[in-house]
């Protein structure tokens, strides 16, 4: 069973078709409802621990061989000196605390089944930063640290934890960029094109199938410099 958070987002919604070819699928959304034939849709505020616990209880019987793909994300640009505490906290709530709450609740099931795949989605900006992206980039860096620690703590239970570090893709946050900024980004990518959703789904399939990829950051970014 694959649990996909951020399923109604620009990239998450495009992943659904290919993920259904891999396994059964639960789509997690919050504000923007999404439904897809063959998948279970569930409205969940991932930063509400009580809601997360209820979700696990309701679906416990279906949660076998669990793969959690954390794609829910929040980004609000702004220079640090002017950045609101509210947006800073919201960024870390959705990008770090939400994945933490879900992982914490799912780990007992994964341990009991001696199988699990935790795939957290980070960003090129986690390693490189950008003007106006201090909150977003630092939250995605925190996610990398969390994932690497999980890989060491739970690898002995055949629970692998890995990061997909995404560059700029056709869809998602890249759609919010000014055309001038997008052109400059394309100049820095050797392939001179944005990533396609198939690159992400193929990496998810690899991480599910492999028993020996653990604690790794897969950089899916076209070689951007």
pLDDT for res 105: 97
**198 to each of 12, 62, 127, 142, 154, how far by Cα in Å?**
12, 27, 23, 26, 29
Mean pLDDT by 10 residues, the chain (225 residues): 96 96 97 95 97 96 96 93 95 97 98 98 90 94 97 98 94 74 87 92 98 97 90
Q: How far apart are CA 156 and CA 164, in angstroms?
A: 21
Q: How far apart are CA 2 and CA 23, in angstroms?
A: 6
CA angle 68, 27, 142 (to 5 degrees): 40
pLDDT for res 136: 95
157: which DSSP letter?
G
pTM: 0.94
136 catalytic per annotation? yes
Q: Residue 164 is encoded by which pair of tokens?
A: 């997909």
Q: How far apart are CA 192 and CA 116, in angstroms?
A: 36
Residue 216, C-beta contacts closer than 8 angstroms, at least 6 positions apart: 162, 163
Among the listed residues 29, 42, 83, 136, the single catalytic one is 136
pLDDT for res 181: 80
């Amino acid at each position: 069973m694959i649990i996909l958070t951020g399923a109604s987002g620009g990239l998450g919604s495009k992943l659904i078709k290919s993920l259904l070819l891999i396994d059964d699928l639960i789509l997690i959304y919050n504000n923007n409802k999404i439904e897809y034939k063959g998948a279970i849709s569930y409205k969940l505020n991932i930063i509400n621990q009580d809601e997360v616990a209820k979700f696990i209880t309701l679906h416990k019987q279906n949660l076998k061989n669990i793969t959690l793909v954390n794609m829910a994300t929040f980004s609000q640009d702004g220079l640090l000196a002017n950045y609101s505490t509210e947006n800073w906290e919201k960024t870390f709530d959705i990008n770090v605390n939400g994945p933490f709450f879900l992982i914490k609740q799912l780990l007992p099931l994964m341990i009991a089944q001696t199988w699990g795949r935790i795939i957290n989605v980070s960003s090129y900006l986690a390693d490189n930063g950008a003007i106006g992206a201090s909150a977003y980039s630092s939250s995605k860096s925190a996610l990398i640290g969390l994932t690497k620690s999980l890989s060491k703590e739970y690898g002995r239970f055949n629970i692998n934890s890995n990061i997909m570090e995404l560059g700029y893709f056709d869809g998602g946050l890249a759609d919010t960029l000014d055309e001038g900024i997008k052109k400059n980004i394309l100049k820095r990518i050797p392939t001179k094109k944005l990533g396609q959703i198939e690159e992400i789904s193929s990496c998810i399939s690899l991480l599910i199938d492999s028993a020996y990829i653990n604690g790794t950051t897969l950089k899916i970014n076209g070689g951007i410099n």
